[in-house]
Each structure stands twice: as structure tokens, then as C-alpha cells.
Amino acid sequence: MAPQPVRIGTRASKLALTQSGHMQQRIAAALGAGPGGVEEAAPLVRITTSGDRIQDRRLLEAGGKGLFVKEIEEALLDGRIDCAVHSMKDMPAEQPPGLVIAAVPEREDPRDVFIGREVSRLQDLPSGARLGTASLRRQAQRLHARPDLEIVMLRGNVDTRLAKLRAGEVDGILLAYAGLRRLGLEAVVGEALDPVQAPPAPGQGALAIQTRAEDADAPWLAALRDAPTALAIAAERGALEALEGSCRTPLGAYARIEDDQLLLSVEALSPDGRLRFRRDDQLGVPASQAPAGLARELGLLLGRQIREEAGDRIVWA
């Protein structure tokens, strides 16, 4: 008897469908489907989210990063889909009642990258150059390093942003390396930024497989889980939780494992980039033996320390 199909909810953008397509193949294989049975075993259900529809302003002005997941989560709760594939960085710090992040697959490269129209390195942009981004974190980090730059709000999918760069609307843009790699667009990258010096968004480069709580132990999910990635993401999302998990706070968090030790860097900035608050620490036990809960506690600790020092100076008003 064939297993019950697992309906996968996903946004309909090219990047989202590419990411979900990779997970579709793995889920179908875990269900025992052959190459010709992927669509039947794990069909993709395309869902347009509020975040996709709103393109004329920052997400924080429209309701926060949860706009990229709201309609998909509703479909999951209603039973119209059985799991959802999200970009982890789009996931709010808290899950809706009844839903969980049931699996975290291997992480793609988490770094931010710079793509310039006439220069290949961020530092080579001339004074007053226009840098495009819709991310409050990227804005604050760049203004902290280069207050002479003009930040231009730039929404849209990857192709749209690259087209605006080519058209001369901006002199350079900042994007996530992971998305470009998944789309096969690595060749456009001018420079990858150091993730320790400029921590990316918590969870950047990772995917979240979300299910209903009662389905979190489904056997097929085991094939998608990557323990080192899950540990790092738990630490970063702990910092996100402590520092107000919305788009109103410019914050970055980067966890990595070196010599079996989990290292975590967390920073938050004032939206104008003038103020920067940072903490770096590590777990006291080997990463290979550490539970995700302990990594989360480290993130919470560093996030709370920054919150106590910074107060409301890191909140966009």
C-alpha cells in the first residue's frame, strides 16, 4: 500500500520553488517513491503570501517578517497541506500554537554578498553611492561601516533586484549568498562578506520544515534533519527571541562549529547604524554532545545582555 502523500506548502517565487523542489525530492525518497512518483508522493502546493504581494515598502511597515509565512501556516493548520518549506530567516521567533519546526536540513552558505554595477567590492563604492537593500539589518550594518552611503529601499525577488542594479537605479545591492547559489547565480557575486564581522540574519541560509505538532515525529522527517545545522540555528534563534523577533530591530546572529565547539556572535544596531552592540561567546560543552536547548540558552543569554545594554535604541520607530 502506497504511503499517504505529503502535501508541501511553498511560496510561488522562483527561489522558493527551487528550495521546495529540493526538499520535495528528499521527502518523496524518504516515503519510498521512485523518480517517476515524486509529484504523486509529495506534491507542491503554491501559496501566495502577503509578503509576496506587498512590494512598495519595508516588511516592518506592513506587519513584519511573518507576512511571508502567514497564509502558508493557515493552510497547514487547516489541513490543506501537510508540511511547509520556509526560509528560516523568514520565521518569527515564536511558532503559532499547534505548529512546530520539525526539521532543519543542512545549511547553505549563510553569508551576505555584495553585487556592484561598476565595482566588485563594497569598500570600493564611492562616497554617496546608492546601496539597495530592504533589510534593516543590512542597512544598519553598512551605515555603521560607511555612513557616507545612501541606502535605497529595494524590494522584489532576486531577478527584480538584479534588473534594478543593471538599470542603474542603485550602484550596488546586498543579497543572501544562499539564494544565489540555489538559483545557480554565483557568477554575479562581487564579494562575500565576513559573517563574523557582519553577522547575517538569524537562520540565513537554512530552511525550516514546519508541520503540525502532532506530525513532528513522522518517520520521513528524519531524512531531512541535520544536527549541526539545527544546533547553530537554535543558538541564533535564541538571540532572535531575546532581541524581539520582528523586522523592527536590526540584528544579526552567526553560530558556527569549530573544533567541536559552538561559537556564537550576536549584534544589534540602531537603525541609522551609529550605535552597535555586540556579544561573542561559546558553549561550555562539545557541540557533538550539546542539546539544541542549551544552544538556544546561549543565544537567549547574549541577546538579553545586548537588550539590557541597548534598550530601545536598537528599535526602529
DSSP letter at 184? T
Do residues 1 and 25 lie in contact, with contact meaning Cβ atoms separated by under 8 Å?
no
Using DSSP's 3-state secondary structure scheme, residue 192 falls into: strand
90 is catalytic: yes
Do residues 271 and 136 lie in contact, with contact meaning Cβ atoms separated by under 8 Å?
yes
As a whole number of angstroms, the distance between CA 47 and CA 9 comes to: 7
Pick the catalytic residue: 90, 109, 112, 171?
90
Do residues 94 and 245 lie in contact, with contact meaning Cβ atoms separated by under 8 Å?
yes
Using DSSP's 3-state secondary structure scheme, residue 300 falls into: helix
Do residues 106 and 238 lie in contact, with contact meaning Cβ atoms separated by under 8 Å?
no
Neighbouring C-alpha atoms within 13 Å toward the C-beta of 306: 34
Residue-by-residue DSSP string for 120-178: SSGGGSPTT-EEE---HHHHHHHHHH-TTSEEE---S-HHHHHHHHHTTS-SEEEEEHH
| Sequence-distant (≥ 6) Cβ neighbours of residue 1 within 8 angstroms | none
Using DSSP's 3-state secondary structure scheme, residue 268 falls into: strand
Q: Which of 279, 284, 277, 286 is nearest to 314 (CA)?
A: 277
The residue type of 289 is Q
Q: Which of 203, 192, 181 is nearest to 105 (CA)?
A: 203
Provide φ and ψ at 194, rounded to 5°. -65, 120
The DSSP bridge partners found for residue 251 are: 268
**Active site positions, annotated:** 90
